[in-house]
A and B are shown apart, each in its own frame.
Chain A
């Protein structure tokens, strides 16, 4: 198996996605990989709270600093669209992520249902391995 040198993680500002972000940052540091921190911006994003969490480069930078991942090893990407499609794009050029990381619940609330679960949709469609980080 090839070394993993590029990882992508979805981050929407939720507690679940923060766990995934920390897990991915830790792994990136351990295996010396680059990390793409992806935020999928939905339609409601521009209306702000209560529809979206505060997701800014500063929030991400603070978490990365806590996890000890150097600023040169990660980059922050905002893509318009849904989280599943946006993460799938990360496995293609220019990011070529070899591993996709998401939180387990995302926005869905129904265990076992594809609908409402970014992680299940991702697992079904991804061409690269997917890590689903369990929530708290």
Chain B
């Protein structure tokens, strides 16, 4: 199976002293790709900058204007976590465009798995605000492009933080299923199990909040028992993964205890969500320990490509399993209201 990755472009000027969201992250992710030794099965999709009309599907025009002006005015700190530099606008539009380019290449080929290794990450970026290291919501830009082509997109977000930006952008969008598994409570504070989507798309958001210390067994159970039935019902034509790797036990940003072997298994689980070849792509979100990031990206991609994993074993025994039953009940309630909406639409 081929792996489609984005052409790397210079992101070295989007950096801030000692900031963990740094250029070395993409280098670590791409080192993992090289370790797979794919030869001619590695396809590079050309670099591309997302256009204004591609960005305004998910961001307010006023915000884009302000962000551009802020960057070209020299940049600075946007909030306590998030920075921009003079070059950040062009780097961020290329990061968003990288996803569009990889998706386009997958569409052209009709086979393979996509991996978008770009930064800054995207899933905290709101419709009208930068946040949590994120300027533009990369995965949302690609999902919205697919929706505009009539596709139904499932976004599976396994970054350790809740993807509040993606959730907000698609809150009332019935053609996008947004699923997030994350440590909770933790930044950004949202992502409780009761957040299940807006009135126009009830049940199209599924949140699986997990306690500190949770291990891979709970993640896998969540994917199999809580998420898989919702994905089945939603019947996506595309699966995009907000693949953050900061839930790894070595990552300094949070307290989940996943190994790279867990990412291999999670990758296998989400690969089964894709119903046709060439319709699965992983988008790099967080992941700040470079060694853990490299090992986890390698595990994720080799597993998605059908190769065996040879790193750390999967983990077991952490807390959080008991909460899954409550989350399942909330999911069932959401599904009931969702089915009702579709039935009403069908009968019209």
Contacts and interface: CB of A to CB of B under 8 A. Distances in A.
Interface of A: 12, 40-47, 50-52, 79-86, 106-110, 113-116, 118, 121
Given A43-B253, A46-B252, A116-B70, A107 B130 contact: no
- Secondary structure type dominating chain B contacts: loop
B163 to A, nearest CB: 13
B77 A116 contact: yes
Interface of B: 18, 20, 66-67, 69-70, 73, 76-81, 84, 129-133, 161, 185-190, 252-253
Top 9 nearest A-B pairs by Cβ distance? A80-B189, A81-B189, A42-B80, A42-B81, A109-B76, A115-B70, A81-B188, A107-B77, A43-B187
Contacts of A109: 76-77
16 contacts: A43-B161, A47-B20, A47-B252, A51-B18, A79-B189, A80-B186, A80-B188, A82-B129, A107-B77, A107-B80, A108-B76, A109-B76, A113-B66, A115-B66, A115-B84, A116-B70
A12 B80 contact: yes
B157 to A, nearest CB: 15
A47 B73 CA distance: 29
Contacts of A85: 188-189
Contact of A82 (B67, B70, B73, B131): B131
Contact of B66 (A44, A46, A83, A114): A114
A113 B190 CA distance: 27
Contacts of B20: 44, 47
Contact of A41 (B76, B130, B187): B187
Given A42-B187, A46-B253, A108-B76, 20 more contacts: A41-B187, A42-B81, A43-B187, A43-B253, A44-B81, A45-B187, A47-B252, A50-B18, A80-B188, A82-B80, A82-B131, A82-B132, A85-B189, A110-B70, A113-B66, A114-B66, A115-B67, A115-B70, A115-B84, A115-B130
